Amino acid sequence: MFYGLIVRMFFFDGDRHHVPHIHVEFGEMNAVFCIEDGEILVGELPRQKVRLVQAWIELHREELLADWKLAMEGSEVFRIEPLK
């Protein structure tokens, strides 16, 4: 969680979007972001929040992809440092 954004990765969640992704909540708004390019797959967030998420993905892409692999195997994922 950072700047009011809640970032989640779910176990065995590859069927619906078919690419490594994260779910992001901001208030009542939700979006799913592709880890590989930071683009929104579905949903929407305010533009400023989208940019924060995309910057965070860019900084932590390798960690996110490693966690994605663990999550798809049903293993525990590692916490990733929030954007400060």
Across the chain, which has 84 residues, the per-10-residue mean pLDDT values are 94 79 97 97 97 98 96 91 91
Give CA–CA dist 39/50, Å, rounded.
9
The per-residue pLDDT for 13 is 77
The per-residue pLDDT for 25 is 98
pTM: 0.91
The per-residue pLDDT for 14 is 66
The per-residue pLDDT for 9 is 92
Classify 19 as helix, strand or coil: coil
Query: 46 — phi, psi (to 5°)?
Result: -60, 145
CB 19 within 8 A of CB 6: no
